[in-house]
Amino acid sequence: MNDLAIVGLGYVGLPLGLQFAKNECQVLGLDIDAAKVDAINAGESYIHHISAESIADQVNAGRLKASTDFSLVSESRAVVICVPSPLNKNREPDISYILQTGAAIAPYLKPGILVVLESTTYPGTTDEDLRSVLEQGSGMTAGKDFHLAFSPEREDPGNPDSKVATIPKVVGGLTPACLEKAIELYSRAVQRVVPVSSCRAAEATKLLENIFRSINIALVNELKVVYEAMGIDVWEVIEAAKTKPFGYMPFYPGPGLGGHCIPIDPFYLTWKAREYGQATRFIELAGEINTSMPTYVVHKVAEALNSVRKPLNGSKVLLAGLSYKANVDDDRESPGYILLQMLKDAGAEVAFYDPYIPVIRPSREHAHWAGTKSIPWDRATVECFDLTLIATAHANVDYQQLCDWSQLVVDTRNATKGIESETRVIKA
């Protein structure tokens, strides 16, 4: 009997499964992607910051196994759902993966089992939408025959100090008994569990966390543009403000928002709020500012090229960094793709360099870029470009070298701070 089955073996599900396995739990990983399943069973990793050794250790110990067979849910005491929750083409919540997963596991639920949703979504998804699918498919009643809860994921990829075991776990249950079961489960793998009154409170907690980041990033993005017009370096200002020991938390500007959380999650609440006749003006304004950043950056690229009497149309532009965040191989919702497309549409010849993404993988959003390879890291290749645009600041990239090799640099991440080079560097 498995202690739990985790559905969705991506950036959330795999680290969670490993943490439970390390704490002597029997973990079954379920995914529709056979390649991921085969990799785990072979003790291999497909996520950069998760070592193959950490997977192999748990597989060889018999505590972790993976399958595409969802009927194996019947052999588990709990199921944790960690599947994508994107926006559709109309920027509306798409919970189809959550509901499809619910429908897939429902026939195999046994009385007393605990089902926990971790995918970020709007308040009411767990106790209304998912609950309905599970009850219809299983013939049982949530809160009576089986337990139902929501616990938002809190992953921070690329941060070596971020560990699943030490990040407090917020949990909300459909009933007090559901909450008790969920606390019991997570207490086996996480040092601190934070109970809240309901599934909706837990769902709202995750949205608040990401809305907070989105709004504050929008603030510094806006100030970046304002201060630039005044001849002030926003990065210098932020570093100075950081010295205040109270009442301030640093956020940093960039070329746009990326990842599967910050650009998406706030709009789950915006959409749901309309049902209650409520406006979410801060969220929408922050979204406008953040989504305008790629346009601002491309404008700065054009200005930089103009300064050396070159038009953007026909120029060769190298994008340095394609993942949405430093030191990870996660390119979901990366503003790098928007920049590549905007530059290409403007007539530029574009390429990218990213040590974490040797080749662009197939995806729903950027299928036409699939198969495009990162350029080689050498002087002869880099200096062929008219301009290098730094979009992500990886720690393992030598920016001194990049500046020395480049003809012109536009830096959106302050990666060139402290670097002295004959190459002109423009902040954007």
What backbone torsions phi and psi does residue 270 show, to the nearest 5 degrees?
A: -55, -45
Strands 147-150 and 169-173: antiparallel
Strands 114-117 and 147-150: parallel
**Which residues are 425's β-sheet partners?**
409
Question: What are the residue ranges of helices labelled H in 187-280?
Answer: 199-229, 234-241, 266-275
Query: Residue 319 is inside which H or E element, if any?
Result: strand 316-320
Helices (H) and strands (E) in the chain, counts: 13, 13
Known catalytic membership, residue 261: yes
Name the active-site residue from 82, 178, 199, 261: 261
Closest CA to 411 of 424, 395, 401: 424
Tokens 């079961």 -> residue:
181
CA 291 to chain CA centroid, nearest Å: 16
Query: Residue 341 is inside which H or E element, if any?
Result: helix 335-345
CA distances, 428 to each of 251, 382, 384 (Å): 16, 20, 22
What distance in Å separates the CA atoms of residue 376 and residue 302, rounded to the nearest whole number?
25
> Within 13 Å of residue 213, how many CA atoms lie on the same side as its CB?
16
Residue 45 in tokens = 């990793």
Q: Quick one: DSSP state of residue 385?
A: S
What distance in Å separates the CA atoms of residue 189 and residue 174, rounded to the nearest whole number?
22
Q: Quick one: DSSP state of residue 216?
A: H
Residue 116 in tokens = 């926990």
Instruction: Name, in order, each residue with C-beta under 8 angstroms of 310's C-beta and a sequence gap of 6 or more.
Output: 386
CA 67 to chain CA centroid, nearest Å: 24
3-state secondary structure 79-108: EEECCCCCECCCCCECCHHHHHHHHHHHHH
CB 59 within 8 A of CB 41: yes
What distance in Å separates the CA atoms of residue 363 and residue 323, rounded to the nearest whole number?
14
CA distances, 314 to each of 343, 345, 349 (Å): 10, 11, 6
Active site residues: 261
